[in-house]
Amino acid sequence: MAPVVHFRAAVALAGRFPALAGVDLSLDQGEVVVVVGANGAGKTSLLRACAGLLPVTSGEATVLGVDLTTDHTSVRRYVGLLGHAAPLYDELSAAENVQFAVRALGLPVAGANEALERLGLTGRLRTTPAGRLSAGQRRRVALAALVARRPALWLLDEPHAGLDATSRALLGQLIAEAIVDGASVLLSSHEPELSVPLADRVVSMGGGRVTGEEPGGRRVTLTAVPTAGPAATARAAGATHVA
């Protein structure tokens, strides 16, 4: 089976600055890879490149079967990126934000409601405008939108930041469930004590390159048969070009 993410000597420019300076990385279906490194190492750029937000200018870069060097936009609807800034409209409620994300993919709104409940966004939290929520609550709304979209590749940039202990535990459960459903996860973190236990592999970055790799400490035992792999998810969303 082709890897979900395949980068070989991948270079991506942010303006004239090489944000990725020859990255080699592979991520298989059902795998959780944690990326660690100092500030400016290229972790966020790697996630943005995988999401098709940062064009790869040279080298090999394939995500979910889409060659990012020739087409970096088609892959976007199949990935879920939880970045530093929550993709929320302040005037819309938590529910409206998640429902908008789901409707954009043509998925049923019921999925949004399930995700909101899963993240504990019920009652008044559900109808409160996102602009009035705390940073942690906004993070949960963004996570609910990601869960509801059921992406084939989860890209989580410092996902534990701003979350309380309960939400951090829930995040671990959500990642485990996504893996069971056939998704893959690429996660950057400054908190190895929280992220490494979730990982199959830990990749170190520095200067826009992968500088090392070691096994992760994933404790989850996967016994269930994957029900919705990337290709199945893509087909359900009407894709024709995703491997």
Partner 1 sequence: MWHDAVLVAGKDLRIEARARVALWQVVPFAVLVLVLLAFAIGPDQASLRHAAPGIFWVALLFSTVLAIQRSVAVESGEGTRDGLRLSGIDPAGIFLGKAAAVGLQLLVLQLVLWAGITFLFDVRVHVVWLAVTASLLATVGLACAGVLYGALSAGLRVRDTLLPLLVLPVLAPVLLAGSKAWEAALNGNAASGGQWLKILIPFAVIYLVVGVVLYGPLQEAA
Alpha-carbon distance of 199 to 204, in angstroms, equals: 13
- Which H or E run contains 25? strand 17-27
Note whether 232 binds partner 1 by CB under 8 A.
no
Q: What is the token pair recorded at 122?
A: 């019920």
Among the listed residues 8, 84, 132, 241, the single contact to partner 1 using CB under 8 A: 84
User: What track of x and - describes contact with partner 1 for positions 22 through 41 (by CB under 8 A)?
Assistant: --------------------
Q: How far is the CB of 56 from partner 1 (least distance, A)?
A: 14
Note whether 76 binds partner 1 by CB under 8 A.
yes
Cβ proximity to partner 1: between 142 and 203 the closer is 142
What residues form DSSP beta bridges with 185? 32, 154
Note whether 237 binds partner 1 by CB under 8 A.
yes
Note whether 134 binds partner 1 by CB under 8 A.
no
Number of residues that bind partner 1 (CB under 8 A): 28
- Segment 5-24, which members bind partner 1 (CB under 8 A)? none
Q: What is the token pair recorded at 212?
A: 């090392």
> Could you report how far apart the first and last alpha carbons of the chain are, in Å?
10
Q: Is 219 exposed, middle or buried (0-12, 13-18, 19+ CB in 10 A)?
A: exposed
CA proximity to 86, closest of 166, 152, 158: 158
Kindly list the residues in this chain that would bind partner 1 in the complex (CB under 8 A).
Answer: 51-53, 73, 76-77, 79-81, 83-89, 91-92, 96, 100-101, 103-106, 129, 142, 237
